[in-house]
Amino acid sequence: MMDFLHHLTFWDWLAFGTLLLILEIFGAGGYLLWIGIAAACVGVLSYLFPELPWAWQFFLFAILSVLTAVFWWQRQRSAGKPSAQPGLNRRGSELIGRSFVLHEAIIGGRGKIKAGDSLWLVSGPDLPAGTPIRVVGQDGVLLRVEADSSN
């Protein structure tokens, strides 16, 4: 075993990195990706510095693995921050609080309003078409409405 460690080549590190990247394909959630990249980096370093002792190669692999894992962790953590545009991909949220005229009667709790050039499904109390309503909430593509008493 020690003979193998004393004669590690860049091919060994590249093969190890490739193996980790292949295992990543099977669903490791990004963890083996960064460790595989660290192994490939050690392979490149051992190619550039062929006399690099095996102990230093393992030390560099450990350091690079930790650095890439911390980089990934920080990137994932920053991706979870609230958006500067909270209504993005929630088109109906901009309609909350606005008043409209009921386009199709609400029967059995369902009806439609026309907002701009779009028809929206609404839920609320049964009301006839032409009734002024106000949007009070959103459930996916369904807007919750109530009769607008201000008109």
Closest CA to 110 of 71, 142, 63, 82: 142
Question: Residues near 41 by Cβ (< 8 Å), separated by ≥ 6?
Answer: 60, 64
Domain boundaries, the chain: 2-79, 91-147
Which of these ranges, 2-16, 89-103, 118-132, has the smallest mean pLDDT?
A: 2-16
Q: Please tell me the distance from the alpha carbon of residue 149 to that of residue 134, in angstroms, as a whole number.
A: 9
State pLDDT tens for residues 29-81. Answer: 777 888 999 999 999 999 999 888 888 999 999 999 999 889 888 887 877 66
Per-residue tokens: 132: 């002024």
More confident residue, 59 or 92: 59
Per-residue tokens: 131: 């009734």
Arithmetic mean of pLDDT, 138-145? 90
- State which CATH number among 3.40.50.1220, 2.40.50.140, 2.70.98.60, 1.20.910.10 fits the domain covering 91-147: 2.40.50.140
Q: How high is the pLDDT of residue 87?
A: 63
